[in-house]
Amino acid sequence: MVRVPQAARDTAESLRKAPNSVVSGAPRRRRESLTVPAPPALPLLPEGPLKRSIWVFITAMWYKIIMHEYSTQELMIIAAARQIADGERIFVGMRLPITAYGVARLTHAPNAVGLFESGVARYEPADGMLYTMCDGPNQLGAAWTTGLIQIMGLLSGGRVHAGFIGGAEVDKFGNINTSYIGDIDNPKVKLPGSGGAPDIAAMAERLVIIINHQKHRLVEKVDFITSPGFLDGGDARKKAGLPGGGPAMLITDRATLQPYGPDNEFHLASIHPGHTLEEVVGNTGWDLKSMPNVTETPPPTEAEMDALHHIDKEGFWRS
- The 3 state secondary structure assigned to the chain is CCCCCHHHHHHHHHHHCCCCCCCCCCCCCCHHHCCCCCCCCCCCCCCCHHHHHHHHHHHHHHHHHHHCCCCHHHHHHHHHHCCCCCCCEEECCCCHHHHHHHHHHHCCCCCCEEEECCCEEECCCCCCCCCCCCCHHHCCCCCEECCHHHHHHHHHCCCCCEEEECCCEEECCCCEECCEEEECCEEEEECCCCCCHHHHHHHCCEEEEECCCCCCCEECCCCCCCECCCCCCCCHHHHCCCCCCCEEEEECCCEEEEEECCCCEEEEEEECCCCCHHHHHHCCECCCCEEEEEEECCCCCHHHHHHHHHHCCCCCCCC
- Positions annotated as catalytic residues are 117
